[in-house]
Structure 1
Amino acid sequence: MPEWPRRFSALVKGLAAFDNLIVIAYHGERRPAVLYREYTDPVVYLPMDSQYLGGAYLLDPFYREHLKGDVRGIRRLMDVAPDHFRRTHYYNNYYKQTTLLDEVAVFANITENVTLTACFGRDRSSGKPFGKREIQALRQNELTLSALMEAHWRGYRPEGEAEAAPAPLGQRLREALEREHDIRLSPRQAEVALFILRGHSSLSIGLHLDVSAQTVKVFRRQLYAKCNISSQAELFALLMPLFARLTEKG
């Protein structure tokens, strides 16, 4: 196994004990790559290759942080997750499988489009989240940790970097729905669908779109009617297979 990630792991463990670590490279809107992982309980990463890399990452709060661009330092998952994240089918059907109880990521910028995250987790191995002092210690050292990652992986470039960037997810999703299900969504309806699956309440969606919560509820009703569904669970079941195919080529 690579020596530098092990040393980095030991350094962070001196600040906050963790049960698992995974380093993920995000490259624009393409499928991410796993650069390193370690764990106490192997069950924590069993859904990673098939489910997370197979499309579930599109709903991950850490992936959404990457898309903001120029992100460095520490992020705790539940601090950046949408207000209804724990109600989502992503959380209940994917995240709970991992047995993760808490997760903190160190973000590092490699290029304009490439972000690395070193995600440190607490799972059923320890059975408890990170403590206040541990989070404080990580935050006090966050820029140093980011700088160390950037220095080590400064030469990293993902496969296919020279290829043209894919179309925005909403556009690709609309095209796939029309092609495979003969469902024609407007750009706004596709946008609302993605917000719902990521765990945003109507109020949160309204704040992002600069419309009222009541208007969001109208969009939601229109979306469900076009898709012939009546719940978030059905929306998840409809769209997740499409996500997997949309990311097959990275």
Structure 2
Amino acid sequence: MKWVTHSEIDEALANTLLALATPALPQHFSSLVKRLAAFDNLIIIAYHGEHRPAVLYREYTDPVVYLPMDSQYLGGDYLLDPFYREHLRGDAQGIRRLRDVAPDHFRRTHYYKNYYQQTTLLDEVAVFATITTDVTLTACLGRDRSSGKPFNKRELEVLQQYAFTLSSLLKKHWQDYRFEGVIKASPAPLEERLREALNQHHSIRLSPRQAEVALFILRGHSSLSISLHLEVSLQTVKVFRRQLYAKCCISSQAELFALLMPLFAQLTEHK
């Protein structure tokens, strides 16, 4: 592996600063980050509240990595993305590695198996920048089948060393960014939208708590993880799950995914 000198990083940073407020910024930002940690793909996404996100920039080595982006991710799968959940928590800044913020059973989810594996991504790290109370930018750099290996410890340490700089560059460049849907009313909470869609399409009436548990399961939380988030006992979570499955006339997590995932595209259509 070729070691990058401090002078090379300094030159890339200077070029990025000069490109602020110009269309060339994303390419220079990419060049800077590559000197800190080489990646196979990069996508910059703007999240606005619970509205559908917008892609501001993307580049890749293997085009397959973003083939399902527009139809699946932006079509509703983003609602289950751990990085999207980080945005919703508010005031997200710095570096996040997907495997560090994903729920404990993330790899068992429909989102992981039917979207994430399609992309061939092996590892993903995001630079977060909060633009306003509603708008968060993420620059997600990934390793996919092109290189066939995750980020190593040294690369992650270097990215952390420059976390504030990278976040600040994104924030400065897009400081005036406003999402196109900002004038629209904020959508109802996701749990409420899910309950409405289930009732409308399947005549299934879930309680708010049952809908909340369903979403935790879809995101990849184990029963133990759900109990910790809801601050209830593990036995109480098991009761909620049994009630949820009984109302939906199902007996497995796979059946829950099959029932709910087709509804997610409708949950993103805010009128």
TM-score by length of 2: 0.91
1:12-51 mapped onto 2 (5 Å cutoff): 12-51=33-72
Separation (CA, whole Å) in 2 of partners of 1:222 and 1:14: 52
Separation (CA, whole Å) in 2 of partners of 1:25 and 1:235: 30
RMSD of aligned residue pairs (Cα, Å): 1.1
Higher relative contact order (CA 8 A, sep 6+): 1
- Report the counterpart of residue 240 of structure 1 in structure 2: 261
Is 1:97 aligned to residue 118 of structure 2? yes
Number of equivalences: 250
1:1-250 mapped onto 2 (5 Å cutoff): 2-249=23-270
SS at match of 2:191: helix
Separation (CA, whole Å) in 2 of partners of 1:232 and 1:30: 27
Residues 36-86 of structure 1: per-residue CA shift (max 9 Å, x gap): 000000000001000000000010000000000001000000000001111
5+ residue gaps, structure 2: 1-21
1:246, distance to aligned residue in structure 2 (A)? 1.4
Code of the residue aligned with 2:233 in structure 1: it is S
SS at match of 1:94: helix
SS at match of 1:161: helix
Residues 12-41 of structure 1: per-residue CA shift (max 9 Å, x gap): 000000000000110001110100000000
- Report the counterpart of residue 15 of structure 2 in structure 1: none
Separation (CA, whole Å) in 1 of partners of 2:57 and 2:253: 34
How much identity, in percent, do the aligned residues show? 79
Code of the residue aligned with 1:59 in structure 2: it is L
Separation (CA, whole Å) in 2 of partners of 1:51 and 1:249: 17
Task: Confirm or deny: 8 A CA contact 1:54 1:248 kept in the other structure.
Answer: no
The runs of 4+ residues in structure 1 deviating greater than 4 Å are none
Task: Confirm or deny: 8 A CA contact 2:187 2:270 kept in the other structure.
Answer: no
Task: Confirm or deny: 8 A CA contact 2:129 2:137 kept in the other structure.
Answer: yes
Task: Confirm or deny: 8 A CA contact 1:83 1:204 kept in the other structure.
Answer: yes
Code of the residue aligned with 1:216 in structure 2: it is V
Separation (CA, whole Å) in 2 of partners of 1:93 and 1:231: 17
1:180, distance to aligned residue in structure 2 (A)? 1.1
Task: Confirm or deny: 8 A CA contact 1:61 1:77 kept in the other structure.
Answer: yes
Separation (CA, whole Å) in 1 of partners of 2:258 and 2:265: 12
1:145, distance to aligned residue in structure 2 (A)? 0.3
Q: Which structure has the greater CA radius of gyration?
A: 2
TM-score by length of 1: 0.98
Separation (CA, whole Å) in 2 of partners of 1:232 and 1:102: 25
Task: Confirm or deny: 8 A CA contact 2:39 2:143 kept in the other structure.
Answer: yes
Task: Confirm or deny: 8 A CA contact 1:85 1:198 kept in the other structure.
Answer: yes
